[in-house]
Amino acid sequence: MRKKECKNCEQIFEGNFCPNCGQNSHEHRINAHYFLHDIPHSVFHVDAGFFFTLKTLFKKPGVLVENFLEGKRIPYFSPIGFVMVMTALSTFLVKFFDWCKVQFLQHFHPESVIHQSNNFFEHYFSLFIFLMIPFAAVVTNLFFIRRKYNFWEHFLVNTYLAAQLNIMWIVMHFVGFIAALVTGKDVEFASEFFLTVFLMFFLYLYGATFGFLMRGFYKKGILILLIGLMNFVLSIVYSYGFNITGIIRN
């Protein structure tokens, strides 16, 4: 294999990456390919990591989290990067679906009453989810405080799960758009319906993840009891957060 000189630190090496600084040996001049492929790849790793992480958090969230905690991290998108991308994606799609709904109703059903909310966290629900991460991490850590995972590892787990919860918010607004197309009205979902949908997805993610992570430490019955109690406490914490921020009003 031909030796190369690193353009960054001038180290002579063989292979695709400099062993001294990690620079890619295939860096080339700035052109259209750089903007269309290299930047999206380096920022989002969209061609593999992001979508693989998104899919795995649906199918096997516990496997992904355990692999990441054990150091098997190459296939997965980083948790902080993942929550940032999901936050941006959720904000964009929610606003897009709401805009489409308003345009449709104003054009085809001008008599329809369009519900508008001035609540900051309803417009930026992803921010609420992000702010809840440390509170959720405290709860999960307290329930499994004697296990091998420390608080910051619980924080990381909750970061992944919080990012995935954005999917529920996107789906709710997409369903609202479809409901407007079908009924010709701006259908406002009841608080009870929202909480039911949210908590079902929430309980699946947390139950599947922590049930898998702790499967070797407890007997099945005790583990089910702990997961159930943990999810109950988390649901209270989130419900309280919904009320404090005005997302759900009593």
pLDDT in tens, the chain (250 residues): 578 888 778 888 888 888 888 777 776 654 566 556 555 555 555 556 788 899 999 999 999 999 988 888 878 888 888 888 898 889 899 999 999 998 998 888 888 877 777 777 777 888 899 999 999 999 999 998 877 889 999 999 999 999 999 998 898 889 889 988 888 888 877 667 777 888 888 889 999 999 999 888 888 899 999 999 999 999 899 888 888 888 776 5
Distance from C-alpha of 225 to C-alpha of 1, rounded to nearest angstrom? 58
Residue owning tokens 């994606």? 89
How would you label 80-117 residue by residue, b for 16+ Cβ within 10 Å and e otherwise? ebbbebbbebbbebbeebbeebbebbeeeeeebeeeee
Instruction: Provide the pLDDT for residue 70.
Output: 87
Q: Give the model's pLDDT for residue 22.
A: 76
pTM: predicted TM-score of the whole model, two decimal places: 0.77
How many angstroms from the chain centroid is the CA of residue 81? Answer: 10
Nearest to 173 by CA among 247, 95, 112: 95
Q: What is the pLDDT of residue 249?
A: 61
Enter the tokens of residue 83: 């929550």
Closest CA to 68 of 166, 142, 206, 160: 160
- Output the pLDDT for position 30: 45
